[in-house]
């Protein structure tokens, strides 16, 4: 990538960083993407699954096709960085690098639009609402795969701590199946000085919180992976009153359906039985997503594309218990999701941290890999039919 394009992409990325928008609210971000695509002379369709944008390049007589996807939304986090381009939106920031992903995909559009060496159709999916707001599902429900047919699909995510510009290609699972739960214990309220007249949900919840931590250690095969974590505890309004109810919210992460079903069963059973022990009621609400799992042939294409782009490639990293809604695309199409090294972690700037920042130095590598994997997919054998 020439210096001028790198400088342009850096300016675009920093503009997006300074103007973050939450999932399902990416109106200005979508407009920015559309503006840049117009400047590049690339046709696109807006309003796909909300604020999603799909751009398309066609060249030559080949009927082969491929999709490249990037996410656009930010997080509800107040930025702590002292940057000239720090977030100008209160309590919202690009703490996961989606500003960099969007910019890298725009860079790939630019590279591929000027590259005469490929033939076929490339669709560029700029997806809204990845951070738990259903963006992938919304695009799929809006018929993105029917309206813009593609044989394979690829995406990347920056990874702090991994050497800058290094492409990490996993074998099979990349990220876990994310899940959420909410448990409400309802007892009987009363004066804190007369606990015998109440059914205290705070005491019961204390026992429940401890018991939930036994699921992974005592109910899941130690050769499998699972996480159960509680992120919120809510209950009570006064120091001298025992409340009617208390609720907690948390997350669970698994990689295979059998483990997920075991974890869900234990969450429900533990909650209901502890509630019964303390003579109260439990209400359990759960939801879960899909694990991000690469397909074998596409893993090889992703690794070969990294080498073709002149980038270091690693195949030895473990999967992460984070989650990613690109999984819903991989349920429907063969594909691969890779990590690209963001470089050393500085000032605690991990993903979802208020001091995180995307490394602009890796933009040429990110755009270059996206362009290379699209060309590799178009020149490879047709993918095997999905089972």
pLDDT in tens, 275-327: 999 999 999 999 999 999 999 999 999 999 999 999 999 999 999 999 999 99
pLDDT (average), residues 94-119: 98
Contacts of residue 191, Cβ cutoff 8 Å, sequence gap at least 6: 197, 198, 240, 241, 242
Predicted local confidence at residue 63, as pLDDT: 95
pLDDT at 26 over 70: yes
Task: Judge if 274 and 133 occupy the same domain.
Answer: no
Task: Judge if 240 and 112 occupy the same domain.
Answer: no
CA–CA dist 136, 325 (Å, integer): 6
Task: Judge if 202 and 270 occupy the same domain.
Answer: yes
Cα→Cα distances 204→2, 100, 104, 271, 275, Å: 63, 45, 50, 10, 7
Summary mean pLDDT of the chain: 97
The rounded Cα 161 to chain-centroid distance in angstroms is 18
pLDDT (average), residues 101-120: 98
Task: Judge if 196 and 264 occupy the same domain.
Answer: yes
Domain harbouring 284, CATH code: 3.30.70.360
Domain harbouring 113, CATH code: 3.40.630.10
Task: Judge if 128 and 258 occupy the same domain.
Answer: no
Task: Judge if 197 and 253 occupy the same domain.
Answer: yes
- Bridge partner residues of 45 (DSSP): 54
Which of the listed residues 236, 254, 288 is the one where a domain comes to its end? 288
Q: How does pLDDT run across 261-278, given as a tens digit for each residue? A: 999 999 999 999 999 999
Q: Please check whether residue 384 lies inside any domain of the structure.
A: no
Predicted local confidence at residue 133, as pLDDT: 87
Q: Which of 139, 65, 54 is nearest to 105 (CA)?
A: 54
pLDDT at 120 over 90: yes
**Residue % of the chain over a pLDDT of 70:** 99
Q: With 0-12 CB in 10 A as exposed, 13-18 as middle and 19+ as buried, what is 6?
A: middle
Helices assigned H by DSSP within 81-182: 98-113, 135-141, 144-147
Q: How does pLDDT run across 327-381, given as a tens digit for each residue? A: 999 999 999 999 999 999 989 999 999 999 999 999 999 999 999 999 999 999 9
Contact between 255 and 291 (Cβ < 8 Å): yes
Predicted local confidence at residue 385, as pLDDT: 66
Element of type H or E holding 292:
strand 292-293
Contact between 305 and 373 (Cβ < 8 Å): yes
pLDDT at 171 over 80: yes
Element of type H or E holding 304:
helix 296-308
Contact between 44 and 34 (Cβ < 8 Å): yes
Predicted local confidence at residue 1, as pLDDT: 85
pLDDT at 223 over 90: yes
CA–CA dist 40, 42 (Å, integer): 6
Helices assigned H by DSSP within 87-231: 98-113, 135-141, 144-147, 201-212, 214-219
Which of the listed residues 227, 261, 288 is the one where a domain comes to its end? 288
Max CA distance (Å), the chain: 82
Q: Please check whether residue 386 lies inside any domain of the structure.
A: no
pLDDT (average), residues 90-103: 98
CA–CA dist 5, 363 (Å, integer): 10
CA–CA dist 62, 50 (Å, integer): 31
pLDDT (average), residues 20-44: 98
Number of domains in the chain: 2
Q: Please check whether residue 89 lies inside any domain of the structure.
A: yes
pLDDT at 386 over 70: no
Q: Is 266 helix (H, G, I), strand (E, B) or coil?
A: helix
Q: How does pLDDT run across 243-263, given as a tens digit for each residue? A: 999 999 999 999 999 999 999
CA dihedral 7, 10, 16, 19 (to 10 degrees): -80
Predicted local confidence at residue 348, as pLDDT: 92
Predicted local confidence at residue 132, as pLDDT: 87
Task: Judge if 51 and 167 occupy the same domain.
Answer: yes
- Its domain, for residue 229, covers 177-288
């Amino acid at each position: 990538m020439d210096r001028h394009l790198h400088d342009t992409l850096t300016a675009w990325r920093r503009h997006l960083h300074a103007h973050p928008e939450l999932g399902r609210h990416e109106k200005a971000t979508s407009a920015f993407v559309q503006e840049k695509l117009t400047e590049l002379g690339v046709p696109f369709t807006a309003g796909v699954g909300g604020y999603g944008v799909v751009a398309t390049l066609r060249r030559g007589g080949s009927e082969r096709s491929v999709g490249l996807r990037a996410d656009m939304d930010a997080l509800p986090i107040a930025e702590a960085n002292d940057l000239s381009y720090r977030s100008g939106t209160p309590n919202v920031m690009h703490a996961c690098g989606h500003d960099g992903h969007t910019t890298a995909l725009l860079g790939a559009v630019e590279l591929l639009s000027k590259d005469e060496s490929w033939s076929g159709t490339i669709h560029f999916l700029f997806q809204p609402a990845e951070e738990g707001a259903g963006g992938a599902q919304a695009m799929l429900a809006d018929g993105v795969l029917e309206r813009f047919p593609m044989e394979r699909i690829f995406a990347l995510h920056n990874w702090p701590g991994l050497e800058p510009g290094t492409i990490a290609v996993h074998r099979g699972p990349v990220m876990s199946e994310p899940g959420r739960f909410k448990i409400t214990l309802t007892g009987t309220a009363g004066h804190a000085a007369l606990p015998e007249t109440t059914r205290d949900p705070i005491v019961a919840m204390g026992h429940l919180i401890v018991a939930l931590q036994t699921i992974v250690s005592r109910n899941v095969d130690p050769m499998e992976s699972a996480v159960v974590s509680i992120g919120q505890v809510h209950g009570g309004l006064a120091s001298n009153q025992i409340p009617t109810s208390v609720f907690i919210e948390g997350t669970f992460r698994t990689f295979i359906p059998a483990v997920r079903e075991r974890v869900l069963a234990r969450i429900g059973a533990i909650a209901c039985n502890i509630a019964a022990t303390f003579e109260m009621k439990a209400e359990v609400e759960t939801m879960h997503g899909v694990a991000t799992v690469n397909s074998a042939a596409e893993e090889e294409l992703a690794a070969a594309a990294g080498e073709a782009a002149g980038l270091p490639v690693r195949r030895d990293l473990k999967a992460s218990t984070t989650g990613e809604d690109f999984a819903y695309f991989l349920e429907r199409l063969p594909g691969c999701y890779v990590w690209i090294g963001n470089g050393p972690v500085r000032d605690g700037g991990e993903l979802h941290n208020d001091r995180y920042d995307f490394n602009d130095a890796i933009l040429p590598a990110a755009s270059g890999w996206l362009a290379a994997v699209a060309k590799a997919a178009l020149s490879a054998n047709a993918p095997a039919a999905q089972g």
